[in-house]
Amino acid sequence: MNGSTPTRGAWRAAALLCALALVTAPAGALTVAQKKAKARVQFEAAEKMREELQQAPPAQRTRRDYQNAIEAYRRVYYLAPSSERADDAVSLVGDLLAEMGHALHDPKASRDAIAQYQFLAREYPGSRYRFDALFHTATIYLEDLNDAEQARATFAEFLKLYPENPRAGEAREAIAQVDGAAADKEKSKKNKQAVAAKETPRPEPTPAAGAPAPAAAARPLQVSGVRYWSTPDYTRVVLDLEGEVQYEAGRVPRPDRIFFDLHGSKLAPGLAGKSFEVGDGFLKKIRVAQYQPDMARVVLEVDDVSEYSAFLLPNPERLIIDLHGRKPTRELASAPPPAPLPRRPAEVAAKSAPPEPKNPPAGAARTESRPAAAAPAPAAGAAEKSPPKPAENKGTEAKEAEVRGPKEPASKSSAPAARSREAQPTADGDRSLTRVLGLKIGRIVVDAGHGGHDTGTIGPGGLEEKDLVLDVALRLGKLLEKRLGADVTYTRDDDTFIPLEERTAIANQAQADLFISIHANSSRDPGARGVETYYLNFTSSKDALEVAARENAASEQSIHELQDLVKKIALKDKIEESREFAGDVNWGMHTGMSSKGAAVRDRGVKKAPFVVLIGANMPSVLAEISFLSNPKDEQKLKTPEYRQKIAEALYKGIARYANGLSGIKVAAKAPKEDGP
């Protein structure tokens, strides 16, 4: 050969080099077509890993083998969620999780398989695998989780949705089997009761069917990492877990320590005996140790910690610990402004598994307990009864005239004057503690949902929620800075994944006065449309102190400046203000996004346990700006003009809420008009 004609081996080598270049190229540097090509190469690699796994005898397949194949498939739809093999990869992850759960007798893997199948149905409603996904879900409930009731309900849902599917006969047989077993169980129970009535009852040493195995027989779950974020008066610690654990907490004085014992857990290699020097003023050190063979202990060495709280979050499993420190009011009055936030909070981890792309996790599902009414527009004549507004910049007034109150003469000053007036009552006619104390708005945190590998909802035309909400968030931030004079902080300003609990930590670290998280909705019904706003609701109490409200109207303190008051607001008053904030934002979206002959449906204000809102020390809401799953709305959402309209509508609602308080604390910039 003289080199003029390539051999088959040369062609193969060239093809491999091209594939390697695609796989190793940074995702951010690739076009959509290149990402899809890279996803195809990744899918082929994942297929080979699955083939190797299946060639091994079942007894020799390890958890690590399953996890490697699962992660290989996940990288396909992380990279190109709209590629032609994305739903194949999502479905195969569910199949591998189901197989792992069955082969290794791992209930968590079985539940993860169900969650993966639900993810497929939600994000890829047109996938050809949606039929098998629902059928497999019912089978897992029946055969692996021993949940006959849930299995029957899922098989019944399958028959209702797909009565002509080839597997409908199997579903009917499974329902008959479940019903027969239930009848036999009831009959056996009655027989035992009849016998027991004639004989002396004796204790049954045999455990009941379906009872969990003794804790000693279960494999300890791994604690894989420790992360933390600190502010002058608040610290959040996150323990990354392999699965859900039972834990106990306690406090020991002299020296002050808070410890957490995680039952049925084992520290990851490299974590045992490790300590993390925090030194943030009240959290000195974090120590981790394997206290017992099946119990890990985490000790927080603290100083001047007034209170702490802890809660578990799923998908991925982690234990969140929030610490609140004591800080004298006189120190707060003279404290310098907070330092600029780093791009990402400090993080220490021995190991971190990539989170799954998701909408809010199961614990934060978009459900409502009872809708609250949106805040109504000011009644006619209300302006005459309220104190006159001080003169303001003409640009600001022109934009805010429709938000609240009559138009006033413009000021010649280049910066907006700080407002000093009595706060208005809430929509219910009451006065919250925030309004009684005359607290004001200084800093607003704008959170663009999802990001990075977490695409959020994907529209039928391929528009990704993470890109849409980032664009709207940046547009909104500019409006808040220029028109409202607010100091704006973003949880992300590029295509970066930020964990949900970290977003709240960023808001607390910034000592923000308001927090708004922007998302796009999704529904299996392609005709669903409209806007809705959520707030986190636990319990709240109302105080109507008219005199105190008038006396405190000239206060120059913002919400973050009084530690004891912030705690009361966070525990009680924050709920009421969050509901008021949500009402104003929802009103802004409904009125601002509607046009003649094309009114936007108002789905109202709702309360739900969204993880991104848990732990925020300020009024916080989550706004669903549209249904990305609606094809017509998706076309509008692709245009810069409509995105600007959404940002204007959100601004309108936030400005309405801010104007309901006793004013803006500091105008960071002179307001001026800006184009779309």
Question: How does pLDDT run across 538-550, given as a tens digit for each residue?
Answer: 433 333 233 233 2
pLDDT given for residue 650 in this prediction:
96
Query: What is the bridge-based pairing of β-strands 392-393 and 318-325?
Result: unpaired
Residue 415 has pLDDT above 80, yes or no: no
Q: Are residues 282 and 140 in the same domain?
A: no
Residue 501 or 221, more confident: 221
b or e along 645-673 (b: 16 or more beta carbons within 10 Å of the residue's beta carbon)?
bbbbbbbbbbbbbbbbbbbbbbbbeebee
**371 or 131, higher pLDDT:** 131
Give the confidence band of 267 by pLDDT, cuts at 50, 70, 90.
Answer: very high
pLDDT for the residue 312: 83
Amino acid at site 86: A
Domain of 152? 30-178
| Strands 531-535, 602-607: pairing kind | parallel
pLDDT band, very low/low/confident/very high, at 425 (cuts 50, 70, 90)? low
Is the distance from CB of 582 to CB of 534 less than 8 angstroms? yes
- Show the tokens assigned to 256: 């002050």
CB 485 within 8 A of CB 530: no
b/e 473-493 (16+ beta carbons within 10 angstroms → b): bbbbbebbbbbbbbbbbbbbe
Mean pLDDT of 382-394: 35
Write down which residue in 178, 210, 244 finishes a domain: 178
Q: What is the CATH number of the domain that holds 136?
A: 1.25.40.10
What does R_g of the chain's alpha carbons equal in angstroms? 28
**CATH code for position 224:** 2.60.40.3500
In a shared domain, residues 134 and 245? no
Cα–Cα distance, 224 to 318 (Å, whole number): 10
- Statement to judge: residues 452 and 593 lie in one domain: yes
CA–CA gap between residue 360 and residue 500 (Å, rounded)? 9
Q: Determine which of 204-218, 255-269, 377-391 has the lowest per-residue pLDDT on average.
A: 377-391
What's the pLDDT at 309?
84
* Whether residues 262 and 150 fall in one domain: no
At 664 the pLDDT is: 58
At residue 517, the pLDDT reads: 93
Least confident of 396-405, 474-483, 573-582: 396-405
Same-domain check for residues 469 and 598: yes
* 556 lies in the same domain as 634: yes
Residue 425 contacts residue 431 (beta carbons within 8 Å)? yes
Q: Answer yes or no: do 169 and 237 share one domain.
A: no
pLDDT of residue 89: 93
Q: What does the H/E/C string look like for 293-348? A: CCEEEEEEEECCEEEEEEEEECCCCEEEEEEEECCCHHHHHHCCCCCCCCCCCCCC
Regarding whether 559 and 443 lie in a shared domain, the answer is yes
SS3 of 7-42: the string is CHHHHHHHHHHHHHHHHHCCHHHCCHHHHHHHHHHH
Instruction: Determine, yes or no, domain membership for 363.
Output: no
User: Is 265 part of any domain?
Assistant: yes
The token pair at 276 is 């993390």
What is the share, in percent, of the chain residues with pLDDT greater than 70? 65
Residue that is last in its domain, among 327, 352, 384: 327
Local structure of 622: helix, strand or coil: strand
Q: In whole angstroms, how far apart are CA 510 and each of 305, 315, 569?
A: 20, 26, 17
* Mean pLDDT over the full length of the chain: 73
Tell whether 580 is covered by a domain: yes
Highest mean pLDDT among 224-233, 445-454, 531-540, 635-644: 635-644
pLDDT of residue 196: 60
Question: How much is the pTM?
Answer: 0.46
Cα dihedral angle (362, 366, 372, 375), rounded to 10 degrees? 130
Please, are residues 549 and 435 in contact by the beta-carbon 8 Å criterion?
A: yes
Question: Is the residue at 470 inside a domain?
Answer: yes
Running DSSP on this structure, what letter comes out for residue 545?
Answer: -
| Average pLDDT estimate for 212-240 | 77
Q: Which helix H or strand E contains 656, and what residues bound it?
A: helix 640-660
Please state which of the ranges 431-440, 455-464, 629-638 shows the lowest mean pLDDT: 431-440
Contacts of 590 (CB under 8 A, 6+ apart): 374, 531, 600, 602
Q: What is the 3-state secondary structure (H, E, C) of 80-141?
A: CCCCCCHHHHHHHHHHHHHHHHHHCCCHHHHHHHHHHHHHHHHHCCCCCCHHHHHHHHHHHH
291: Cβ contacts below 8 Å, ≥ 6 apart:
261, 297
Give the pLDDT of residue 230.
78
In sequence order, the 6+-apart residues with CB closer than 8 A to the CB of 194 are: none
Q: Is the pLDDT of residue 121 over 70?
A: yes
Q: Which of 171-175, 303-307, 641-645 has the lowest mean pLDDT?
A: 303-307
565 — pLDDT class (breaks 50, 70, 90) = very low
**Tokens for 161?**
């949705």
The predicted structure's pLDDT at residue 60? 87
Residue 670, domain member (yes or no)? no
**Tens-digit pLDDT profile for residues 34-63:** 888 999 999 999 999 999 988 888 888 898
Total of domains in the chain: 3
Q: HSE of 290 in the Cβ direction (CA atoms, 13 Å)?
A: 16
Residues 587 and 461 in one domain: yes
Dump strand ranges (E) for 370-416.
392-393, 410-411
**Among 89-98, 137-146, 334-343, the least confident range:** 334-343
Please state whether beta strands 234-241 and 318-325 pair in parallel, antiparallel, or not at all (unpaired). antiparallel
Q: Locate 353 and state its tokens.
A: 């598994």
C-beta of residue 138 within 8 angstroms of C-beta of residue 171: yes
pLDDT value at position 313? 78
Query: Are residues 39 and 120 located together in one domain of the fold?
Result: yes
CATH number, domain at 596?
3.40.630.40
Q: Is residue 2 part of a domain?
A: no
Q: Are residues 492 and 620 in the same domain?
A: yes
Q: Which stretches of 178-256 are assigned E, i.e. beta strand? A: 221-231, 234-241, 246-252
For residue 573, is it within any domain?
A: yes
Residues belonging to the chain: 676
Can you tell me the distance from the alpha carbon of 437 to that of 552, in angstroms, rounded to the nearest whole number? Answer: 5
The last residue of a domain, from among 303, 327, 351: 327
159 and 229 co-located in one domain: no
Sheet (strand 295-302) strand order: 246-252, 257-263, 295-302, 283-292, 275-277
Structure tokens given for 234: 């608040």
Residue 485 maps to a domain: yes
Summarize pLDDT for 495-528 with one digit per residue, the tens.
988 877 788 888 888 888 899 999 998 888 888 8
Find the mean pLDDT for residues 398-407.
40
Q: What is the mean pLDDT of residues 148-160?
A: 92
